[in-house]
Structure 1
Amino acid sequence: MPRKTNPAAEGSDSKIEQAPRRSTRLSTAQSVANDSTASNAKRTRDVDEADVGSAAGSKKAKSTDRSTKDAKGSEVTDDSAADSAISAIPPINIGDKLPSLILKNEQDEDVDVASLTTDRGVVLFLVPKADTPGCTNQACGFRDSYPDFTSAGFDVYCLSADKPVAQSKWKTKKHLPYALLSDPKRVLITALGAGEGGKTKRSHFVFLKGGQLADKKLPVKPVDSPKLAYEFVQTISKE
């Protein structure tokens, strides 16, 4: 007898045969999409890591910047280091020599103070501030006795922390015959013991020919300074 066909089986085969097959192009597209997503994720991680590295570098730079400040928060520069070195001139006491130091005179010219005593003695008087009553009194006293000092073999110089332009105006106004030396950082003033608290103590110092400090008056009254300095110079001249 002819063999009967099972309708259920036939239907099942038919359904299997008619089931849609997955497109190769769909699979390829999905793969590409997955690769793109992974690539984007990697780029995002790379950017994040770069940002973190940049931030760390920035913090490190800021830390380095902070390290260039001293304990008080002031910037430490090469200039401030140089200033400290200049300010390290040792104190000048009786018997010590005038050190080599470049200052400006009232004409804004460089003057090596050590060279001032090469051929003659020097009377160096210090004033707190140019063109003020007490300082003018002291300066005019040295002006009036200037010929007496030069005849005894001594030159006279005024030393202050004023700028050359202020000294020049004062010199012209009061007809001062001697040079004025500007020491704005009070380097020499401090070495002489006349600089304290950012101020200059009224005083005078007598240096012999060759630069040795022989006499000092610190502090001294404006009217007494020229007289006492000349009295000491006279005692040296008689020896």
Structure 2
Amino acid sequence: MELKVGDKIPNFTAKDANGVEFKSQSFVGQKPLVIYFYPKDNTPGCTTQACSFRDQYEDFKDLGAEVIGISSDSVASHDKFSSQYKLPFMLLSDSDKKIRKLFGVPTGMFGLLPGRVTYVIDKNGVVQMVFDSMLAGKHIPKALDAIKKLVK
């Protein structure tokens, strides 16, 4: 079941790039979130997407939002990827793909690749935007526009 606009995000926990446990419920009620699911660390599209979020991260922060990237890569892979590209936001390891399933993220490329989907969630945990596209660079402006509309 894919999450849609108007749905509340499910509670989930995961390890970040430092091996620290992240709990989604600790953010709900605090600030808007941009949660983006991507296929794999250190691949061309995913690196482009992560670096684009990095380059615009201050714009999201200035609007009071937090950016979180999620893939099935390991904590160690996220740590290396995050350090290599100086990513200022959290990367969460979903090695068992439970979070991907909770959100109902579809697979891309005829089921061969994990999907690339960005969710914008308001501070109450309600999905305000879902953008599903393998075009990595398109996610950042869409998410930023959605966050701007939330904080008006």
User: Considering the TM-score relative to the shorter chain, is it more than 0.5?
Assistant: yes
Aligned residues: 149
| Unmatched 5+ stretches in structure 2 | none
Work out whether 1:231 is the aligned partner of 2:145: yes
Q: Name the CA shift for 1:220/1:236 in 2 (closer, same or farther; >3 Å).
A: farther
CA–CA distance in structure 2, aligned partners of residues 100 and 191 of structure 1: 9
1:218 alignment partner in structure 2: 132
Aligned with 1:143 (options 54, 57, 60):
54
Deviation string 1:112-158 (CA, Å, 9 cap, x unpaired) is 12322231010011110011111000000000100100111110010
2:15 alignment partner in structure 1: 104
Question: Which structure ranks higher in relative contact order (CA pairs < 8 Å, sequence separation ≥ 6)?
Answer: 2
CA–CA distance in structure 2, aligned partners of residues 187 and 198 of structure 1: 18
CA–CA distance in structure 2, aligned partners of residues 216 and 194 of structure 1: 10
Deviation string 1:152-186 (CA, Å, 9 cap, x unpaired) is 11100101110110000000000000010111121
Q: 201-210 vs 166-175, which deviates more?
A: 201-210
Contact 1:93 1:192 in 2 (8 A): no
What code does the residue aligned with 1:158 have? G
CA–CA distance in structure 1, aligned partners of residues 106 and 76 of structure 2: 21
Deviation string 1:60-84 (CA, Å, 9 cap, x unpaired) is xxxxxxxxxxxxxxxxxxxxxxxxx
Shift of 1:222: 1.0
2:86 alignment partner in structure 1: 175
Q: Name the CA shift for 1:190/1:198 in 2 (closer, same or farther; >3 Å).
A: farther
TM-score for the superposition, normalised by structure 1? 0.59
Work out whether 1:124 is the aligned partner of 2:35: yes
3-state SS of the aligned residue for 1:103?
A: strand
Counterpart mapping for 1:10-159 below 5 A: 91-159=2-70
CA–CA distance in structure 2, aligned partners of residues 112 and 126 of structure 1: 17
1:201 alignment partner in structure 2: 115
CA–CA distance in structure 1, aligned partners of residues 151 and 102 of structure 2: 27
What code does the residue aligned with 1:209 have? K
Percent pairwise identity? 28
3-state SS of the aligned residue for 1:117?
A: coil
3-state SS of the aligned residue for 1:118?
A: coil
Shift of 1:237: 2.0
Contact 1:129 1:160 in 2 (8 A): yes
3-state SS of the aligned residue for 1:177?
A: coil
Whichever structure has more helix as a proportion of its residues is: 1
CA–CA distance in structure 2, aligned partners of residues 215 and 222 of structure 1: 16
CA–CA distance in structure 1, aligned partners of residues 120 and 22 of structure 2: 18
CA–CA distance in structure 2, aligned partners of residues 230 and 220 of structure 1: 18
3-state SS of the aligned residue for 1:223?
A: helix
Contact 1:100 1:113 in 2 (8 A): yes
Larger radius of gyration: 1
What code does the residue aligned with 1:233 have? I
CA–CA distance in structure 2, aligned partners of residues 100 and 236 of structure 1: 21
